[in-house]
Amino acid sequence: MIGKILGNRYEIVEKIGGGGMALVYKAKCRLLNRFVAIKILRPEFTNDEEFINKFKRESQSAASLSHHNIVNIYDVGSEDDVYYIVMEYVKGKTLKKLIREKGKISPKRVINIAIEIAEALNHAHENHIVHRDIKPHNIMVTDDGRIKVTDFGIARAASTSTVTNTSNVIGSVHYFSPEQARGGYTDAKSDIYSLGIVMYEMLTGRVPFEGESPISIALKHIQEDIIPPGEIDKNIPKSIDNIVRKAVKKDQSLRYNSSDEILKDLRKAKQFVNEDIVEFKDYNNSPTRVIPAIKDDMIDKKDKKDKKNKNKKNNSKKLITIFAIVAALIFTGVIAGGYLIVKDYLIVEEVKVPNLVGKSLENATKDIKKVGLKLEIENRKHSNNIKKGHIIEQSEPSGANLKVDSTVRVVVSEGPDLVKIPKLVGNMSNEAEILLSEAGLKKGEITYEASDDYPIDVVIKQNPPPQEMLEKGSEIDYVISSGPEKKYIPMPDLVGLTEQDAKRRLISKGFLVGEIKYEANNDIPEGLVSWQSYPVGTEVEKNTTINLEISTGSSSSESDENETEDKPNDPSVELTIKLPDDDKEIKVDVYKEQNDKKELIYSKKHKSSEESIKVPISGKGKVKYIVYFNGEKKDEVEYNFKEDN
């Protein structure tokens, strides 16, 4: 998808996340010149009408919401089997990541975060939309500390919601409500329960229920009470401890009635943090009643009444005994001589067993009851082919004859086998492959990225993050370090500087000082740099070693006998250089290159009005001259000087 343009407007830049139904990308809006987030339905679901309908329902639900604590929806579209939603791009991190970084969040900040989440939920609930998947992963914390609730992917209008299909319990197992775990009716109170679990995790640094499988965790939501946050950490104020306890009541009627109600308590807690501000509902205590005093005549009347009842009871026992004897005689008579009369009533009708495999448990139960049979769940097991809550096997084959009221046993799918994602970050790439293989997962998209913090070939990012549960055989994307980022710096002009100034300039630019030679030079005064190992303006990698030559002044016959001997034999010519016609000042540098040695022989500024200049050159044999204008290579000329024998 990277580089693809959707709707002739949104250019996909990079992948930034993903969930069970969709992948999320960062994109550039060409029309408004801003970054947006685009949620794209996973390719494997584009031919699944049920998932497409869910995806469309998400866009319709979320697009109707407009609140500063809810991620905005900008656009919806589809093209070439790509279904997408364009959303506000939130720069920040998830609340889950913040909890991992902090371990625990201070009660004061928990109240502030919970207030913003509750305000978002209150707005959604007022618009008859239930989120049904409130968890830290779906809550963004912006760089400036604001809270934004995202991913209404499994929300739907409360006005049209019915009992959740038991074959498709929605939500994330650590955070969903007991009614979601049972596959029961979900409403705004289900979101309040999940908010309570999120607050619990922020306060304690952990979720209240853990287990070996999603089923075991779900059962704990149904059967077990949480350990109050205040018992785990004595520093948690009573007000916020009570808010959490009320929000996560198993019985929906004992929770907060609405998100507005919990919002009011959160605001009270912010002002009176150490006070008992929460009012709990209790339907177990009967009201006190006033009854009259018991007198002696009342006792006498009671004794007479008890005696009368006792006589009635004895008479009833006698009647029952007589009835039982008569019934036994009649039954014996039927068995002895009346078989032919009642045989039609003793022969049970047979019916055909319907095909249940692949059907939801709810529909299978209806089909079984329709023909007069009973259904019993014999086992539950994972399946990659049969959806969760649907039938994998049946004890009696389809079309077989069974007597009415017989039982058909079935095996129900638990959905795909979920495994915990291992931590790959910090491991070598080959170690990451082993960890994935051991967990039953596969390599996904592997990319490389420069890093100053991680050595080459070490994993620096992964998606999804570790510890989350994922379907066995799923792919994990990760990024591998390609080492520190290479930085290139333009080579400064050092010719004409003193040795110390040249060294200081090299170091300040990020280069290393290399070999320094001292050579005679007729054009550069003594003590100044006459040559540098890289031409001016060349892009050179940071920390590269730069060699220099320092002029020892002009050569003379007294100081250099060999040079004197060579000079009469070096023919001298002039190099004509045409200047550009642009009315600007030009710096002209001419380098002489011979025998892998490069030296600057001319460096001077000229005006374009001069049209051309002549530079004296001399040498022996083949010599190359390179001309630079303002640090950029302009020309290259090779001369072949004749040598005297």
Q: Show the tokens assigned to 352.
A: 């055909």
Rg (CA), the chain: 43
Distance CA 570, CA 641 (A): 8
Q: Show the tokens assigned to 63.
A: 């697009």
| DSSP letters for 302-331 | HHHHHHHHHHHHHHHHHHHHHHHHHHHHHH
Angle 188-204/95-102 helices, nearest 10 degrees?
A: 20
Distance CA 43, CA 87 (A): 19
Q: Which of the following is catalytic: 75, 133, 251, 635?
A: 133
CA 130 to chain CA centroid, nearest Å: 22
Q: Show the tokens assigned to 417.
A: 């086998």
3-class SS of residue 105? coil
Q: Show the tokens assigned to 15.
A: 């992948």
**Count of residues for the chain?**
645
On whether the CB atoms of residues 203 and 104 are closer than 8 A, the answer is yes
Catalytic-residue membership of 133: yes
Residue 261: φ, ψ to 5°:
-70, -45
Kindly report the number of other CB atoms within 10 A of residue 574's CB atom. Answer: 11
Q: What is the sign, positive or negative, of the torsion defined by CA atoms of 517, 520, 521, 527? A: positive
Kindly report the number of other CB atoms within 10 A of residue 3's CB atom. Answer: 7
On whether the CB atoms of residues 193 and 184 are closer than 8 A, the answer is no
Distance CA 66, CA 127 (A): 10
Distance CA 424, CA 439 (A): 12
Going from the C-alpha of 637 to that of each of 211, 331, 530, 595, the distances in angstroms are 79, 128, 21, 16
In one-letter notation, the amino acid at residue 270 is K
Which 3-state string (H, E, C) describes 554-623? CCCCCCCHHHHHHHHHCCEEEEEEECCCCCCEEEEEEEEEECCEEEEEEEEEEEHHHCEEEEEEECCEEE
Distance CA 297, CA 223 (A): 51
Residue 609: partners with Cβ closer than 8 Å, 6 or more residues away: 583
Residue 51: φ, ψ to 5°:
-70, -35
Kindly report the number of other CB atoms within 10 A of residue 113's CB atom. Answer: 23
Distance CA 561, CA 636 (A): 32
Q: Show the tokens assigned to 118.
A: 């509750």
Kindly report the number of other CB atoms within 10 A of residue 566's CB atom. Answer: 14
3-class SS of residue 138? helix
Peptide bond preceding 484 in cis form (omega within 30 of 0): no
Distance CA 552, CA 88 (A): 66
Which 3-state string (H, E, C) describes 143-200? CCCCEEECCCCCCEEHHHCCECCHHHCCCCCCCCCHHHHHCCECCHHHHHHHHHHHHH
| DSSP letters for 240-286 | HHHHHHHHT-SSGGGS-SSHHHHHHHHHHHHHSTTS--------SSP
Residue numbers annotated as active site: 133
